[in-house]
Amino acid sequence: MALLIDGKELAAKVKAQVARQVEEMTDRPGLAVIIVGDNPASRVYVNGKKRDCGECGIYSEEYALPEQTTQHELLELIGELNGRPDIDGILVQLPLPAQLDEKQVLLAISPEKDVDGFHPMNVGRLMTGEPGFRPCTPAGVMRMLDEYGIEPEGRHCVVLGRSNIVGKPQALMLLERNATVTVCHSRTPDLAAQCRRADILVSAVGKVGLVKADMVKEGAVVIDVAMNRNEAGKLCGDVDFEPVAAKAAYITPVPGGVGPMTRAMLMVNTLQAARQHGKS
């Protein structure tokens, strides 16, 4: 039976570490969170982020903009926040309403305040192995592996999904740690055969029951990034949890796995931004 990787407990530990460091600073870090429209899921995420800031002693500001906000208005706000020394991180909650150009918006955030790690400058830094902000979800996965003493070097890692926010940066971060990485997506033939080769399997697809026990190698590490709703409306991942847990060496639950770690890593990135801005 697999050992459960407790993301909730680990996230609490990471946030407590951030809180201790912030407590010792005379100039505390600041995060601005922008939400456009009234997407209920986005509202839940933003509330969570504000709560995390409170727990860590990080100053936070929320900008809740109306659904009809124009590109010009949003870019103007970002420009203003880019210039404010009390704000170290700027986060625009995605998705944005259809009239807004997401690429241009992410490009407008100063790379030095891009705590989500989505600006092309930070994507390039990850690609070339230079220090920069790493996207929170894959960074949270790496932290989980580290905390549980799971070494990616020399292991075969299979990443399911190739999105810009999870799959691709996850693959690069594993590669950075000397893993051999296979990236799978919707056009990958025989997904099961690819998965069975994985020492570490990271699933970030968004399909209930995608990863079945016969797709997982005995003793593998299984990380479930997905956040889906099953037929009963219950939060679940991509992995068929019970049967896979019976075969794997380590497994993350959903909820209580990668989700809380994603939030904790945003606090880590905000602290890093503040330090880079000379706050101590």
Q: Which residues bind ligand NAP (CB under 6 A)?
A: 137, 160-163, 165-167, 184-188, 191, 204-207, 225-228, 258-259, 262
We find the least distance from the C-beta atom of residue 73 to ligand NAP, in angstroms, to be 26
We find the least distance from the C-beta atom of residue 134 to ligand NAP, in angstroms, to be 13
Cα 104 from Cα 47, distance rounded (Å): 25
Using the minimum distance from each CB to ligand NAP, give the nearer residue, 87 or 106.
106
From the candidates 49, 168, 217, 279, give the one annotated as an active-site residue.
49
Q: What is the DSSP letter of 259?
A: H
From the candidates 116, 199, 238, 240, give the one annotated as an active-site residue.
116
We find the least distance from the C-beta atom of residue 9 to ligand NAP, in angstroms, to be 16
Pull the structure tokens for residue 234.
Answer: 């219950």
- CA distance readout (Å), 186 to 24, 151, 204, 205, 258: 47, 28, 12, 9, 22
Identify the CA nearest to 157 among candidates 194, 186, 126, 206: 194
Query: Parallel, antiparallel, or unpaired for β 235-236 and 228-229?
Result: antiparallel
We find the least distance from the C-beta atom of residue 101 to ligand NAP, in angstroms, to be 18
Using the minimum distance from each CB to ligand NAP, give the nearer residue, 87 or 210.
210
Q: Furthest-apart CA pair in the chain: how many Å? A: 55
Cα 104 from Cα 93, distance rounded (Å): 14
Cβ 110 vs Cβ 90: under 8 Å: yes
Bridge partners of 181, per DSSP, are 157
From the candidates 15, 52, 88, 93, give the one annotated as an active-site residue.
93
Q: How many residues does the structure list for the chain?
A: 280
We find the least distance from the C-beta atom of residue 31 to ligand NAP, in angstroms, to be 17
Q: Is 49 a catalytic residue?
A: yes
Identify the CA nearest to 254 among candidates 273, 274, 234: 234
Cβ 136 vs Cβ 272: under 8 Å: no
We find the least distance from the C-beta atom of residue 104 to ligand NAP, in angstroms, to be 19
Cα 41 from Cα 7, distance rounded (Å): 20
| Torsion angle in degrees (nearest 10) through CA of 165, 167, 170, 171 | -140
Using the minimum distance from each CB to ligand NAP, give the nearer residue, 87 or 251.
251
Using the minimum distance from each CB to ligand NAP, give the nearer residue, 46 or 184.
184
Using the minimum distance from each CB to ligand NAP, give the nearer residue, 18 or 160.
160
Using the minimum distance from each CB to ligand NAP, give the nearer residue, 205 or 274.
205
C-alpha dihedral sign at 48, 139, 164, 118: positive
- Catalytically active residues, by annotation: 49, 93, 116
